[in-house]
Chain A
Amino acid sequence: MSLNPAAAAETFIDYAALRALVVDDSPGMRSALRLTLSNFGITKIQMAANAAEAIFQIKNRPCDFILCDFNLGEGRDGQQLLEELRHSHLISLETVFMMVTAESFYEKVVATAELAPDDYMIKPFSAEVLRSRLEGILLRKRAFAQVYRHFEAQELDQAIAGCDVLMRSKPKYAVDAMRFKGELLVAAGRFDEAEALYQQVISMRAIPWARLGLARAMHMQQKDEAAETELRDVLEHAPEMVSAYDLLSDVCIAQKNAAGAQAALEQGVAISAKTVRRQQKLGEVAHANGDLDTARNAFTQAVEKGRHSIFVTPADYGNLCRVQIEQGDLKAVAETLKKNKGTLQASPEGQLVMAVTQGMAHTRGGNLQEAAKALDEAASLRASGTRGDAQLMLDLAGTCMAHGRNEEADAIVGEVARNAHDSDALLAKAKRIYDEAGRTDAGSGVLSAATGDVRKLNNEGVVLAQRGDFRGAIDKLATACREAPFNPRIIMNTVWVILKYIEQAGMDEAMIATARSYLAEAERQAPGHARLAGLRLQLKEIETRFGIQRKSAA
């Protein structure tokens, strides 16, 4: 016991003020956990029996501490709940999330997932152990509070500086501070510094997360060969490290090793099949590799495991049906659509997936009248502004062509090509559709016109910017954006020149508002794109320099 009042205040935790949420599917366990928490003074306790209830409770009343059983029966498990809460910003970094598991070593796999809970409690545990673990985490979060606030305000430089202070002043949290700093450096696009930092951790001890961080920093700098060597070695020592397989697949794709990427994802799925995004990626890679059985299985898993997950979109149903059609299994397509009718009809995007898939399937099955009906439905959805992913739109174009609706098809392909003027894979697929329809010449006309316009505008804009004519560059690129509203590359270029222009010519309120909304759009279209962090940082710097405070949506 410390007699120093200042130190005592620093480690005092007011359990009576702590808002807790217990998530467990067994009523007996829920009340036992409630009793455990009340043992050390936590009285504000809410209960949830499953993930959906937990989300509902948290939306209604935020909480500081979530104690969640990993196994929640049918539906989402604790890890999926955690991913969803963090992904949708329903809980902040300051919220404590502790996972209760039945045993330490099977579910430890999840500990190495990208999003790990703050700690694990292995059932059964005593109130004493829970209290001391919780206290440790609360004190650590208290030490990191300022850093987290900077991070959540996207003030990455200040957050990084805060980590540096913790590394010097709080030896107990030094490694935690280094770990978070590494993630911040990657988010800020400072990959070489991240690499050096991870090397520094590894020189103390070759901890798997530091080696994974090192591999990621190298991958971001296109040092993919070195990244691959590092990852393969990590996996040899820690084969249960699932997120290493995800990164390995990215590294393989960067090296144009599609088979290697698929193998890595298959290994990851073999360890943990529940992650929807891993299954989606495996499906896409396997589909591109022509391995339809694997692709079908992965897309099925994605749709099944993620039945209530926010990570599942109408595109996933479209992907599954596409594979089923390519396999000639029209019965399965009908079943998939029937089974998920409610989900798909709930949004225009879902309706478009249904219409396109039905159009394709009926065409394939020779039921041309039904197919035409489906195409009409797709056309009217498209006319009202509904769009799908590029694959789906190309499927639609291909089906239109099969019905002689060439004009419609050309318009769709033109749109896809404008939005993906630099994607070889999509342009190749578009070209194949024309080849198959015997319209090779028409296709090269449509494609070169579409990509040519956008490429020309983009290139002219970039050249003007390089010459220092940012105003002229903005005009060119803004036109390109109107032509290709779903092309994140162009949108990011536009943001970049607007920021350059303001740096040069001074503040322009309208311009910076445009830059902000373009950036938000790019983030929506290409989440996690390597350029986004840098642009966000530049925008922030300019706002700070010119003293603009983003209006909070009060």
Chain B
Amino acid sequence: MSFDGNDFYAALIHELKNSLGLLSMSIERIPLQGTAEHDTPVDEARLLCQGVIDRLNQALLIYKAANGAIHPMIDAASPHDLVHELAGQTLSLARGRLQVETAVADEVPALWFFDRDLVDMALINAVHNALRYAQATIRIEAAMRDGCLALTVRDDSSGYPDHVLESVAAGAPIRASGTGLGLQFGRMIAQSHDNLGRRGELRLSNDGGAVFELLLP
């Protein structure tokens, strides 16, 4: 079997991601002892591991996206299920460290059309961010905004720095490593969704904490 350079890197990323998956399962099996000097580093390792896995998934997605464009596979999906699934995931990542709340507005329809896997990836990124900075609570919400489905991850941190808000609002590339990459990625996913000439958007704001919002037409 012969690889060209890029395929080789993709295979390598793959391999790393799968090994990390096994590592993450091993970490999950370490029992907590109720002491901060034991539990805190275990917890940090676990979160970091999960975060790296998600980042590698993004790397693979960007590699597969020919010429930098993502092709979503749009199908009907339930925003209600999405919110609850994500909340469950957040809860298990937070391991009791934080409270997770959900809210689905009454006007949100039973079904909406989007690529569930992609949207999931974008939101889990925002969740990782929130897990790092939130004080006590993360809120996951679905509502209707400007005719779009708005999916929101909200925390009670001190919010996004001004330069990040400005870059996202201006549609400029977002600097700052880590957070910046995840946001860039969220914006790519939002914009890959379009319907009847309307494009998806990523909106960031500070409202009692950081607010990450995907608008899907």
B-binding residues in A (CB < 8 A): 28, 32, 35, 102-106, 108, 111-112, 120, 122-124, 126-129, 131-133, 136, 171-172, 174-176, 204-205, 207-209, 238, 240
B135 at the interface (CB under 8 A from A): no
Cβ contact within 8 Å between B61 and A104: yes
Chain A residue numbers with a CB within 8 Å of B92 are 126-128
CB pair B85–A122 under 8 Å, yes or no, is no
B75 and A209 within 8 A (CB) = yes
How far apart are A336's CB and chain B's nearest CB, in angstroms?
25
Contact status B111-A171, CB under 8 Å? yes
Instruction: Determine if B76 and A207 form an interchain contact, defined as CB atoms under 8 angstroms apart.
Output: yes
Q: How far is the CA of A120 from the CA of B89 in the complex (A)?
A: 17
Task: Give the residue of A103, A112, A126 whose beta carbon is less than 8 angstroms from that of B60.
Answer: A103
* A397 shortest CB reach to chain B, Å: 45
Query: Which residues of chain A are near B113, meaning CB under 8 Å?
Result: 204-205, 207
Contact of B64 among A35, A106, A120, A205 (CB under 8 A): A106
If A105-B64, A175-B75 are given as contacts, then 6 extra A-B residue pairs at C-beta distance below 8 Å, sorted by A number, are A104-B60, A124-B24, A128-B89, A128-B92, A205-B113, A205-B195
List chain B residues, Cβ under 8 A from A208.
73-74
Interchain CB contact under 8 A, B14 and A172: no
* A39 to B, closest residue via Cβ: B28
If A123-B21, A208-B73 touch, does A132 touch B57 (CB 8 Å cutoff)?
no
Beta-carbon nearest neighbor of B81 in chain A: A136
Distance in angstroms between the alpha carbons of A124 and B71 in the assembled complex: 23
| B109 in contact (CB, < 8 A) | yes
Please tell me if the beta carbons of A124 and B14 are within 8 angstroms of each other in the complex. Answer: no
Asked if B22 and A174 sit within 8 Å, CB to CB, the answer is no
Partner of B53, one of A124, A133, A171, A207: A124
Q: Which residues of B contact A122 (CB under 8 A)?
A: 57, 117
Main secondary structure of the interface of B (DSSP, over half): helix
A108-B73, A205-B113, A205-B195 known; A124 and B85 CB under 8 Å? no
Asked if A171 and B85 sit within 8 Å, CB to CB, the answer is: no
Residue in contact with B14 in the complex, picked from A102, A204, A209, CB distance below 8 Å = A102
Residue of A nearest to B25 (CB): A32
23 A/B residue pairs, CB under 8 Å, sorted by A: A102-B18, A103-B60, A103-B64, A104-B60, A105-B64, A111-B73, A122-B57, A122-B117, A123-B17, A123-B18, A124-B17, A124-B25, A128-B89, A128-B91, A133-B85, A136-B78, A171-B110, A172-B110, A205-B76, A205-B113, A205-B195, A208-B74, A240-B71
Query: Of the candidates A28, A131, A136, A171, which one forms a contact with B109 in the assembled complex, judged by CB atoms under 8 Å apart?
Result: A171
Tell me how far the C-beta of B137 lies from the nearest C-beta in chain A, rounded to whole angstroms.
19
Which of A104, A127, A204 lies in contact with B117, CB distance below 8 A? A104
**Closest CB in chain B relative to A276 CB, distance in Å:** 22
Tell me whether B88 and A132 are in contact (CB under 8 A). Answer: yes
Q: How far is it, in angstroms, between the C-alpha of A174 and the C-alpha of B74 when the chains are bound?
A: 16
Chain B positions within 8 Å of A, measured between CB atoms, are: 14, 17-18, 20-22, 24-25, 53, 57, 60-61, 64-65, 71, 73-76, 78, 80-81, 84-85, 88-89, 91-92, 109-111, 113, 117, 195
A172–B20 Cα gap in the complex (Å)? 36
A106, A112, A129 interface centre (most CB from chain B within 10 Å): A129
Q: Which 7 pairs between the two chains have the least Cβ-Cβ distance?
A: A124-B21, A175-B76, A171-B110, A105-B64, A172-B110, A205-B113, A132-B85
Name the distance in Å between B62's Cβ and chain A's nearest Cβ: 10
| Chain B minimum-CB-distance residue to A36 | B25
Of A172, A176, A208, A209, which is in contact with the most chain B CB atoms at under 10 Å from its CB? A172
Known: A105-B61, A207-B113. A238 touches B73 (CB 8 A): yes
Q: List chain B residues, Cβ under 8 A from A32.
A: 22, 25
Residue numbers in A under 8 Å from B75 (CB-CB): 175, 207, 209
Best-buried of A108, A127, A132, A238 by chain B (most CB within 10 Å): A132
- B63: shortest Cβ distance to chain A, in Å? 9
In contact, A128 and B88 (Cβ under 8 angstroms): yes
Nearest-Cβ distance from residue B47 to partner chain A, whole angstroms: 12
Most buried by A among B22, B76, B91: B76
Bound Cα distance from A407 to B80, whole angstroms: 73
How far, in Å, is B79 (CB) from chain A's closest CB? Answer: 10
A127→B28 CA distance, assembly (Å): 11
Cα distance A238–B74 when bound, in Å?
10
Which residues does chain B contribute within 8 Å of A174, judged by CB atoms?
76, 110-111
Select from chain B the residue with minimum beta-carbon distance to A28: B22
- B84 neighbours in A (Cβ, 8 Å): 132
Residues of B within 8 A of A127 (CB): 92
Closest Cβ–Cβ distance, residue A478 to chain B (whole Å)? 49
Q: Give the shortest distance, in Å, between A265 (CB) and chain B (any CB).
A: 23
CB distance from A106 to the nearest CB of B (A): 7
Report how far A136 CA is from B82 CA in the complex, Å.
Answer: 10
Residue numbers in A under 8 Å from B64 (CB-CB): 103, 105-106
Q: Which residue of A lies closest to B80 (CB)?
A: A172
Shortest distance from the beta carbon of A58 to any chain B beta carbon, whole Å: 27
In the bound assembly, the distance between CA atoms of A106 and B7 in angstroms comes to 12
Point out the residues of chain A lying under 8 angstroms from B18, CB to CB.
102, 123-124
**Is the CB–CB distance between B111 and A103 below 8 Å?**
no
A238 cross-chain contacts in B, Cβ below 8 A: 71, 73
Interface centre among A105, A123, A132, A175 (most CB of B within 10 A): A105
A126–B127 Cα distance when bound, in Å, is 15
How far is B28's CA from A32's CA once the two chains are assembled, in angstroms? 11
Of chain B, the residue at the smallest CB distance from A136 is B81
What B residues does A172 contact at CB under 8 A?
78, 80, 110-111
Q: How far is the CB of B133 from chain A (nearest CB, A)?
A: 22
Chain A residues with CB under 8 A of B74:
205, 207-208
Q: Which residue on chain A has the smallest CB distance to residue B117?
A: A104
- A240: shortest Cβ distance to chain B, in Å? 8
Most buried by A among B80, B88, B109: B88
A172 and chain B: residue at smallest CB distance: B110
B-chain residues with CB within 8 Å of residue A126 when the two chains form the complex: 89, 92
Q: Name which residue of chain A comes closest to B113, CB basis.
A: A205
The residue among A104, A133, A171 with the most chain B CB atoms within 10 A of its own CB is: A104
Distance, CA A60 to CA B57, complexed state (A): 38
Chain A residue contacts of B195, Cβ below 8 A: 205
Interfacial chain A residues near B76, Cβ < 8 Å: 174-176, 205, 207
What are the residues of chain A within 8 A of B57 when measuring CB–CB? 103-104, 122
Name the residue on A nearest B111 (C-beta). A175
A108–B71 alpha-carbon span in the complex (Å): 11
Shortest Cβ gap from B57 to chain A (Å): 7
Which residue of the partner chain, among B20, B73, B88, B89, contacts A124 with CB atoms under 8 Å? B20
Residues of A within 8 A of B91 (CB): 128
Q: Which residues of A contact B88 (CB under 8 A)?
A: 128-129, 131-132
Give Cα A248–Cα B92 distance, bound, in whole angstroms: 46
Taken together as a complex, chains A and B put the C-alpha atoms of A129 and B20 apart, in Å, by 17
